[in-house]
Structure 1
Amino acid sequence: MPAPNVRDMHTTPVAVQGTLDDLGTPLSEVTFVVLDLETTGGKPAGSNITEIGAVKVRGGVVLGEFQTLVRPGEPIPAFVSVLTGISNAMVASAPRIDRVLGSFLEFLGEGVVVAHNAPYDVGFLKAACRETGEQWPRPAVVDTAHLARQLVTADEAPNRKLGTLASLFGTTTTPDHRALHDARATVDVLHALIDRVGNLGVHSLEELQTYSKRVTPGQRRKRVLADDLPSAPGVYVFKDANGQALYVGTSVDIRKRVRSYFTESEKRARMRDMVRLAEEVTPVVCQTALEAQVRELRLIAEHKPRFNRRSRYPERAVWLKLTDEAFPRLSVVSSVRDDSPGYVGPFGSKAAAELAMTALHDVLPLRRCTKRLSRKGDSTACALFDLGKCGAPCIGQQSVDDYAAIADEARSMLTADARPVVDALLDRMNALGAQGRYEDAAAVRDRLLAFVRGAARAQRLDPLARTPEVVAARPGALGGWEVVCIRYGRFAGTTLTPRGADPMPYIAALRETAEVVAAPVAPAPAALTEETERVLHWLEQPGVRIVHTEGVWVCPVNGAGGSRNRLERLMDAGSGGGARVAG
């Protein structure tokens, strides 16, 4: 049986303009394998390959060709024979696909597949690999039909068929539905299209693969902003002509991530608007992913970039506290002071804090009036006294000691044990649901969730905010250790120890050089709340080891975190109207 025809070309290299573009693989260095298949039908299911033709080319130089007929194992339909000129007699003695596919994949090697309507050809090759047990190598793919739709206007050509493009670009080979001839024509079409995108600033394989006319010329020209950025983990800051920060982000590879903003892969309209305004990108190289996350949060909070949607206004967070007076009450405040041990939060909005306040009022007869009460009391009480929701200390119906017992219970629910609030409000939700009062039950649910989320957040922050120092380490991705120093909940420093080295001297140096942090008023940490939560998340990752601590770092046994997690799971499972929520 005829063997596949594979030819190596040893022609004189054609001079090709090189590129110093370091944002990807220069096109002049890419080995393209331009292929075409002839088949018995239009889909791999129920159809088979009858011919494979391919041309290997790099830098304008043809390196080799591959051609073979393939016996499909089924009759070739008459209309296909008329179209391709391949008859049943021609393939009768040809090898089956299992005899030639390995040779073709060897010819392909690590090349980039190019085809006109590439999904068609690649689909048949993948199906053949599944049928024969060969491993599809998952090469990069370039579709000349897709590129032509982006680059060839309707005035130039009525369609983007290979024959039409061959005529437009004057290819040396006329496509005639024979695989090798069509592959040779596609080589010339590819080169013509590369010339066009080169004039638009596309010089790398990665840019060619993602090229789209949806990326504006202005957006594409600004890719030079990524030229000098480091391929390292860290933070990047887009800035406008006045040096004002437009957007802050993080990446494990700054240059690669910034480069993506200038390609079709960036589909967010607001990011395209940001790129239009950007004139500079400032990198901040970081040793670890945690350091990058922290620096991103700090930069966003400091500069409030207009295109960042989160973390811009941490100062708007509020807390719920139990006031420090003879008859304490709940109050929403903007900061934590050293005046009460009963703070929860922070909450993202005043409305959320007020929901949490209402949850506690539903369970305990705390006073709700805002005036400061004297120990003697006033002459009149509000309607809450008549409703049994307040003991009326305002008129002397409740002594300081009696009220103190209620206040102590509230303080415990806020800072230590949320179960009484959770159990009472779950019972109320179920009762309302049983009565068909689903909207009222949903309102109780929202209040309860707001309370346990705020309480859990404070109880989670408080221990670390009171701890002068925690040093922790986890194995580094490339060996050695990733070490972090945390002081009063604030990221104070980090280091990476070399693989195989004793980490203790590096840890000692980190402790000596880490940021000096003043003790905050707990439960507020000495950092942005979101920063401390990122640090806590890192500390909880598998493999993290505590190397050193100063102070006591403990959490309440019956804290709100467990209740919050249980409630959120229950809400997800029983979100249908009227569903009973078990305690």
Structure 2
Amino acid sequence: MNQLGPLYSLPLKELPIVIVDLETTGLRPQIDAICEIGAVRFRGGLLEEQFTTLVNPQRTIDEEVVKIHKLTNEMLDHAPLLDEVLPDFLSFIDSSVIAGHNAGFDISFLAPAALNWGLDLYRSSILDTAYLSRKLIPKLESYALSNLAKTFTLPETRFHRALEDAITTGHLLELLFTKAEEQGIHTLAQLEAIYPFPGTPRPYSDLSPLEQTIWKAITHGFDIEIAYRNRKQEVSIRRITPDRLSTTKVHAHCHLRDEQRVFLTDRIEKYKLLDPTSEANKSSDPS
């Protein structure tokens, strides 16, 4: 266990938790940069405090990315640099549990900068609401934050802005704690023992095109259509919702079998990223 030992015995809904969300210039933490930080402190279902700031990424943002989060280059030109806002942000986190939707993505951007200030974020307790949602609420069609908010009528916000997404994630986490308690999971120690943080993938540039597609699906809650070859050398078309990528395997919900499965990446012969908002893609589900 990590440096947050005293928190492990607390009831889940009494934990001091900071939910973090970032907007970035892209998906590659080694190349891209943070352009907005949003964070909220939740305890007992109540929003206690919030932190938000734009960040000058010191690079031009592609138009396709601007369409997602609506942060233009002009809006960020006079924003503070990451090194200027990071001390206040790390102070805001303090010794809280860190949570986020696809938390591995956000931590992969924040961790290198935090190390420069003497804080190893990977020694914090980290809860990933995307991963926990797949485990505690299985068989949903999509685990994108917007879909979960709609499915469970969470408070409406503007999606793809950091603070609003952090607030929505906080309400989602409270729902997940209730689901965990229904399974007899009452403390952080119990939750991490059963559903440990899945971690962060290898550097994006080191991933194969298939692995990059899987990581993109995990990050954005997309599904993937794959042509998969089994041990009998039979190929079937499947729609999967991936939640974890290891060196040789992808852990995913298989819509064809309607269950959690493990797929060997070297048996995936073809693949296509599916946007869950597309009706055409929904209709392509082979199940």
- Matching of residue 66 in structure 1 with residue 51 in structure 2: yes
- Distance in structure 2 (CA, Å) of the matches to 1:117 and 1:50: 17
- Equivalent position of 1:350 in the other structure: none
- Matching of residue 145 in structure 1 with residue 130 in structure 2: yes
- Distance in structure 2 (CA, Å) of the matches to 1:52 and 1:112: 17
Match of 1:136 among 120, 138, 150: 120
Q: How much has 1:128 moved relative to structure 2? A: 2.1
- Equivalent position of 1:104 in the other structure: 89
- Distance in structure 2 (CA, Å) of the matches to 1:83 and 1:134: 33
User: Cα distance 1:59–1:164, how it changes in 2: closer, same or farther (>3 A)?
Assistant: same
Q: Which amino acid aligns with 1:168?
A: T
Q: How much has 1:23 moved relative to structure 2? A: 7.8
SS of the residue aligned with 1:37? strand
- Equivalent position of 1:159 in the other structure: 142
Q: How much has 1:39 moved relative to structure 2? A: 0.5
- Distance in structure 2 (CA, Å) of the matches to 1:208 and 1:170: 24
Q: How much has 1:206 moved relative to structure 2? A: 1.4
Match of 2:155 among 172, 196, 202: 172
Query: Cα deviations across residues 126-159 of structure 1 (Å, max 9, x unaligned)?
Result: 12224x54533531100101111112232xx312
- Distance in structure 2 (CA, Å) of the matches to 1:178 and 1:146: 21
What stretches of structure 2 of length at least 5 have no aligned partner? 1-6, 197-287
Contact 1:112 1:139 in 2 (8 A): yes
- Matching of residue 57 in structure 1 with residue 57 in structure 2: no
User: Cα distance 1:28–1:191, how it changes in 2: closer, same or farther (>3 A)?
Assistant: closer
Match of 1:29 among 6, 14, 17: 14
- Matching of residue 85 in structure 1 with residue 99 in structure 2: no
- Distance in structure 1 (CA, Å) of the matches to 2:34 and 2:96: 21
Between the two proteins, the alignment pairs up a number of residues equal to: 189
- Distance in structure 1 (CA, Å) of the matches to 2:8 and 2:25: 42
Percent pairwise identity: 37
- Equivalent position of 1:413 in the other structure: none
Q: Which amino acid aligns with 1:65?
A: Q
Contact 2:21 2:100 in 1 (8 A): yes
Match of 1:193 among 173, 176, 183: 176
Q: How much has 1:36 moved relative to structure 2? A: 0.3
- Distance in structure 1 (CA, Å) of the matches to 2:21 and 2:8: 30
SS of the residue aligned with 2:124? coil
- Distance in structure 2 (CA, Å) of the matches to 1:70 and 1:184: 19
Contact 2:17 2:96 in 1 (8 A): yes
- Distance in structure 2 (CA, Å) of the matches to 1:65 and 1:191: 17
Q: How much has 1:174 moved relative to structure 2? A: 2.9
SS of the residue aligned with 1:210? helix
User: Cα distance 1:197–1:133, how it changes in 2: closer, same or farther (>3 A)?
Assistant: closer
Q: How much has 1:181 moved relative to structure 2? A: 0.6
Judging by fraction of residues, say which structure has more strand. Answer: 2
Contact 1:173 1:184 in 2 (8 A): no
TM-score normalised to structure 2 length: 0.63
Q: Which amino acid aligns with 1:136?
A: D
Q: How much has 1:43 moved relative to structure 2? A: 1.7
- Distance in structure 2 (CA, Å) of the matches to 1:23 and 1:201: 15
Contact 1:163 1:174 in 2 (8 A): no
* Residue correspondence of structure 1 range 452-471 to structure 2 within 5 A: none
SS of the residue aligned with 1:47? coil
Q: CA RMSD in A?
A: 1.9
User: Cα distance 1:158–1:175, how it changes in 2: closer, same or farther (>3 A)?
Assistant: farther
Q: How much has 1:201 moved relative to structure 2? A: 0.8
Query: Cα deviations across residues 154-182 of structure 1 (Å, max 9, x unaligned)?
Result: 2xx31211111111111113351000010
- Distance in structure 2 (CA, Å) of the matches to 1:59 and 1:204: 13
Contact 1:44 1:127 in 2 (8 A): no
Q: How much has 1:212 moved relative to structure 2? A: 4.1
- Distance in structure 2 (CA, Å) of the matches to 1:43 and 1:27: 32
* Residue correspondence of structure 1 range 517-536 to structure 2 within 5 A: none
Q: Which amino acid aligns with 1:147?
A: L
- Distance in structure 1 (CA, Å) of the matches to 2:28 and 2:80: 21
- Equivalent position of 2:104 in the other structure: 119
Contact 2:134 2:143 in 1 (8 A): yes
What stretches of structure 1 of length at least 5 have no aligned partner? 1-21, 214-583
Query: Greater relative contact order: 1 or 2 (C-alpha under 8 angstroms, separation 6 or more)?
Result: 2
User: Cα distance 1:174–1:210, how it changes in 2: closer, same or farther (>3 A)?
Assistant: farther
